Amino acid sequence: METKKLTTASGIPYTSHVNENSMTAGPRGPVLIQDFILHEKMAHFNRERIPERVVHAKGSGAYGTFTVTNDITAYTKAKVFDTIGKQTRIFMRFSLVAGEKGSADTERDPHGFAIKFYTEDGNLDIVGNNTPVFFLKDPKKFSDFIHTQKRDPYTNCKNPTMTWDFFSLNPETLHQVLIVMSDRGTPYGHRHMHGFGSHTYSFINANNERVWVKYHFLTMQGIKNFNNEEAQQMRGENPDFAQQDLISAIDRGDFPKWKFKIQVMTESEAKTYHINPFDLTKAWPHQDFPLIDVGTLELNENADNYFAHVEQSAFAPARIVNGIGFSPDKMLQGRILSYPDAQRYRLGANYEQIPVNRCPFMVNNYERDGQMRVDGNQGGAPNYAPNSFDNIITDSSYGEPALPLDNSVADWYDRNAEGENDHYSQPGNLFRLMDEQAKERLIHNIVTAMSGITGPKREEIINRQICHWFRADMNLGMAVAKGLNVDVSHKIS
For the annotated catalytic residues, the residue numbers are 56, 129
Q: Is the distance from CB of 203 to CB of 210 less than 8 angstroms?
A: yes
Q: What are phi and psi of 318, to 5 degrees?
A: -70, -15
Separation CA 48–CA 130 (nearest Å): 30
Q: Which of 182, 144, 166 is nearest to 427 (CA)?
A: 182
In sequence order, the 6+-apart residues with CB closer than 8 A to the CB of 384 are: 366
Q: Is the distance from CB of 412 to CB of 139 less than 8 angstroms?
A: no
Count CA within 13 A, CB hemisphere, residue 326. 17
Separation CA 322–CA 45 (nearest Å): 42
Separation CA 246–CA 255 (nearest Å): 9
Q: Which of 393, 396, 329 is nearest to 364 (CA)?
A: 393
Helix (H, G, I), strand (E, B) or coil at 167: helix
DSSP for 254-286, written as a single string: ---EEEEEEEEEEHHHHHH-SS-TT-TT-PPPT
Helix (H, G, I), strand (E, B) or coil at 129: strand
Question: Residue 374 corresponds to which amino acid?
Answer: V
3-state helix, strand, coil in the chain (%, to 5): 35, 15, 50
Count CA within 13 A, CB hemisphere, residue 164. 28
Separation CA 177–CA 299 (nearest Å): 30
Separation CA 137–CA 132 (nearest Å): 13
Provide the 10 A C-beta neighbour count for residue 207.
Answer: 8
Where are the strands (E) in 131-286, listed by range?
195-196, 201-204, 210-219, 257-266
Q: What is the dihedral of CA 117, 118, 119, 124, to 10 degrees?
A: 40
Count CA within 13 A, CB hemisphere, residue 136. 18
Q: At 344, which helix (H) or strand (E)?
A: helix 330-347
Question: Residue 301 corresponds to which amino acid?
Answer: E
Q: What is the dihedral of CA 136, 137, 140, 145, to 10 degrees?
A: 0
